Amino acid sequence: MSSGAVLTQSIETIAWTPEGVIMIDQTRLPRETVYVTCRNYREVAEAIRSMVIRGAPAIGVAAAMGVALGVLHSSDPESEMPVICEALAKTRPTAVNLFWAIDRMKRVYASARHLPLAEIRKRLVVEAQAVREEDIAINRAIGKHGAALVPDGKTVLTHCNAGALATAGFGTALGVIRAAVEMGKRVDVFADETRPFLQGARLTAWELQRDGIETTLITDNMAGHFLKSGRIGCVIVGADRIAANGDVANKIGTYGVAVLAKENGVPFYVAAPVSTLDLTLASGDAIPIEERAGREVTHVQGVHLAPEGIGVANPAFDVTPNRYVSAIITERGVARAPDEKSLREMADNKTR
Amino acid sequence: MSSGAVLTQSIETIAWTPEGVIMIDQTRLPRETVYVTCRNYREVAEAIRSMVIRGAPAIGVAAAMGVALGVLHSSDPESEMPVICEALAKTRPTAVNLFWAIDRMKRVYASARHLPLAEIRKRLVVEAQAVREEDIAINRAIGKHGAALVPDGKTVLTHCNAGALATAGFGTALGVIRAAVEMGKRVDVFADETRPFLQGARLTAWELQRDGIETTLITDNMAGHFLKSGRIGCVIVGADRIAANGDVANKIGTYGVAVLAKENGVPFYVAAPVSTLDLTLASGDAIPIEERAGREVTHVQGVHLAPEGIGVANPAFDVTPNRYVSAIITERGVARAPDEKSLREMADNKTR
């Protein structure tokens, strides 16, 4: 991966170019705005693993582009396609959008495999770009459906970063906030810093500050205090995988925020595309939870915080049972008190 | 305040010497084990304010020693005593032990003011040392009462540092854990890192590691995930002020842990000396909550995490309503389902 390319004046999360996949390096924000170019599928896989790019929808886009890049450089895709897909699939286990995007690219490949190599390549590149473009449109639709739920004149609490940086653009949870602001609602945001990776402090705060949306950074353990205080009108978060019964896997800490929201009578909304639904899993208990390196907890930007040799746990996600979820906001509408019936309807219907 | 004195081989939180009050610098642990000497009451006040020493009981000891030091250096205590007490009282607003200790020293002064200056000084120094020694005995008694409540073979979750470093020695919450281990129970500890000041990552992890008690460091937002998992047998925390109805002010994030414990059927215990009770306040709503500098949130050990200019909230404490508190463990016994009646009995009776 090479650093330093400047894409455009406006910030984009990920873009396809013939030279490779360009991504803003999310490990270096907000201190440095640096773009990296992944010139082959292995570099894309490494960018996903190391969280240069993160966020379930953005990971899906990156994986689709990784497959396209792999086949673009392959003279024997029939034997290499499974290797490329496997390398990208094993980067991170929880966000289902990764597997959804790879499956989508596999289907395009399967339908094109009898065609000349140049045509196969072209179709995969077109598909990967379509995944990106569709994601922005999906987020706009999520925003439109969700904006109606945001109370006027109150604070929205969000956890982690489900913004433009977590998607191809606009964002899911932050897309709902942006859409509410666009329709004239007075909204300010409390952003959990989201340890250990600090997506809230580094990415959400940065995005919202650029948009001029008033934002207050808090540590994760302050969320309960402010939910109890009455100033939070609703919580909106993204999702990494949603089981058929409406249980939601999302960034570690989401479960705690959801319980505290319910305890204080504050609505808890999940904003995610339909591609985040995993109807093959009956409940959230079956969602694999990624355990990441302890060093993410013991060190912050290279500074060692804890005593040497201390034990560490670092589950990157948790599961929020459906009873804490007031509604799931998708591009096809809002599933209130989500359950298997409402989510299957959401997945089956193109509009709602 | 001067650095570098080495007190003894064993770690002590705070000690009186004729040259001044020696404290281990808790802002530098665990990377450096450095003692500072506060040579006058102003330096003691600054050490409390800057959290060189923290933890409600330890702050009480420091304040008592600060008063003694102030009068030791005063040729006119009759006019200076109020100034000394005021300087120490305005350092931090939430922990009531600070005001309790200052009031105790004021009472000794009032009873001795007719005596020669040398005798006044002697009595105040003796009293300050007594506050320290009694605190260690109190913590041993808290440990004895609380150890029976700790489930054998399960994990104890704790938040912040209510250990030897937060007291004159042994600790309140960690004292209960130590006493349970001493009586042969198999106990391991999950320690919330406790942003923003990282008392859990820096102090609790360090203390327990030195004692050979198996400890796993987690970020604050992981507590809910592990409380839901079934591995946590109980939660034990300290307290900074307990209102007459049993509402508990403690380190920010305590309220969230308490709600998540109750939601998952895990007992939530508060370990604190009777000096932490404030029976003048009907409920926790009246407890003043300290707001500290935003820089504690945006920076970690000098490293800037968040975008420049972002808004920050930094309440240092929150209030846990009594309905989430399974029991309050004091040196005089255990108040189960604490309420005004049980706490007034605890405060009035010497033994229970």
| Pairwise CA distance, residues B77 & B117, whole Å | 8
How far, in Å, are A208, A302, B91 from residue B292 at the CA level? 24, 25, 12
What's CA B2's distance to the chain center, in Å? Answer: 24
A10 — pLDDT class (breaks 50, 70, 90): low
State the average pLDDT over residues B137-144: 98
Q: Give the mean pLDDT of A289-307.
A: 95
Instruction: State the complex-level ipTM.
Output: 0.96
Q: Would an 8 Å CB–CB cutoff place A268 in contact with chain B?
A: no
Supply the pLDDT for residue B238: 98
Local structure of B328: helix, strand or coil: strand
Q: Which of B27, B29, B161, B222 to mutate to test the interface with A (most CBs of A within 10 A)?
A: B222
Q: Which residues of A touch B193 (CB under 8 A)?
A: 195, 297, 305-306
Of the candidates A198, A305, A315, which has its C-beta nearest B202's C-beta?
A: A305
Residue B240 appears among annotated catalytic residues: yes
Give B324's contacts in chain A (Cβ within 8 Å).
Answer: none
Work out the percent of chain A whose per-residue pLDDT is above 70: 96
Q: Is B301 on the interface with A (CB under 8 A)?
A: yes
The answer to whether B62 and B75 are in contact (CB under 8 A) is no
pLDDT at position B42 is 98
Which of these is catalytic: B135, B192, B240, B247?
Answer: B240
- For residue A21 the two structure tokens come to 């996949």
Instruction: Name the average pLDDT for chain B.
Output: 95
Is the model's pLDDT at A9 over the cut of 70?
A: no
Q: pLDDT by residue (tens digit) across A59-84?
A: 999 999 999 999 999 999 999 999 99
Better-predicted residue by pLDDT, B302 or B233: B233
Nearest-angstrom CA–CA distance, B97 and B272: 10
pLDDT score at A29:
96
| Interval B200-227: pLDDT, tens | 999 999 999 999 999 999 999 999 999 9
The backbone region for A20, taken as left when phi is positive above 0, alpha when psi lies in -120 to 50, beta otherwise, is left
Q: Which chain B residues are within 8 Å of A302, Cβ to Cβ? A: 303
Q: Phi, psi at residue A117, to the nearest 5°?
A: -55, -40
User: What is the distance between the alpha carbons of residues A81 and A69, in angstroms, rounded to a whole number?
Assistant: 11
Q: What is the pLDDT of residue A349?
A: 78
**pLDDT score of A85:** 98
Contacts of B190 in chain A (CB under 8 A): 313
What are the tens digits of pLDDT across the range A11-35? 689 999 989 999 999 999 999 999 9
Q: Which residues pair with B190 in a beta bridge?
A: B157, B216
B313 with A222: CB under 8 angstroms? yes
Between CA A25 and CA A32 the distance in angstroms is 9
pLDDT score of A18: 83
How many helices and strands in chain B, by DSSP H and E? 12, 18
Residue A7, pLDDT score: 40
Q: Which pLDDT tens digit goes with each residue over B33-83?
A: 999 999 999 999 999 999 999 999 999 999 999 999 999 999 999 999 999
Using the predicted structure, report yes or no on whether residue A305 has a pLDDT greater than 50. yes
In the structure, what pLDDT confidence band is assigned to residue B5 with cuts at 50, 70 and 90?
very low
Mutate which of A222, A296, A323 to test chain B, going by most B C-beta atoms within 10 A?
A222
Question: Chain B residue closest to A298 (CA)?
Answer: B201
Instruction: Mark yes or no for CB contact B253/A226 under 8 Å.
Output: no
pTM of the model: 0.96
CB B271 within 8 A of CB B145: no
Q: Which residue has the tokens 């196969």?
A: A120
According to the model, what pLDDT value does residue B9 have?
Answer: 41
N-to-C CA span, chain B? 42
Lowest mean pLDDT among A271-280, A309-318, B126-135, B343-352: B343-352
Token pair recorded at residue A82: 């499974």
DSSP state of A151: P
Write out chain B residues lying below 8 Å of A307, CB-based. 30, 202, 205-206, 209
Q: Is the pLDDT of residue B323 over 60?
A: yes
Residues of chain B found within 8 Å of residue A228, distances taken between Cβ atoms: 255, 318
Separation CA A257–CA A239 (nearest Å):
14
Tokens (6 digits) for B186: 């198999």
Q: Over the stretch A85-125, which tens digit does the pLDDT of each residue have?
A: 999 999 999 999 999 999 999 999 999 999 999 999 999 99
Q: Quote the mean pLDDT of chain A.
A: 95
**Assign residue B44 a region: left if phi > 0, alpha if psi is -120 to 50, beta otherwise?**
alpha
Query: Quick check: A6 pLDDT over 80?
Result: no
Amino acid at A130: A
- Choose among B222, B303, B307: nearest Cβ to A301: B303
SS3 B191: strand
Q: Using CB atoms and an 8 Å cut-off, which of residues 64-103 of chain A contact chain B?
A: none
Residue from the list A224, A226, A311 with its beta carbon closest to the beta carbon of B214: A311
* Nearest residue in chain B measured CA to CA from A215: B311
Range of lowest pLDDT (A151-165, A221-235, B4-18, B304-318): B4-18
pLDDT at B8: 41
pLDDT of A1 over the 90 cut: no
Nearest to A271 by CA among A124, A142, A135, A182: A142
| A231 inside 8 A of chain B by CB | no
CB-based contact B222 A253, cutoff 8 Å: yes
Quick one: average pLDDT of A312-339? 97
The per-residue pLDDT for A11 is 65
Mean pLDDT of B242-250: 98
Residue ranges of A 306-325 with Cβ closer than 8 A to chain B:
306-307, 309-315, 318
Q: Choose among B30, B223, B260: nearest Cβ to A306.
A: B30
Q: How confident is the model at residue A4, as a pLDDT?
A: 54
Q: Report the Cα–Cα distance between both ends of chain A, in Å, rounded.
A: 42
Mean of the pLDDT values across residues B12-26? Answer: 95
> Residue A57's pLDDT band (boundaries 50, 70, 90)?
very high
Q: Which domains are seen in chain B, by residue range?
A: 14-139 (1.20.120.420), 143-348 (3.40.50.10470)
How confident is residue A352, by pLDDT bands cut at 50, 70 and 90? very low
Contact criterion met (CB below 8 Å) for A235 and A257: yes
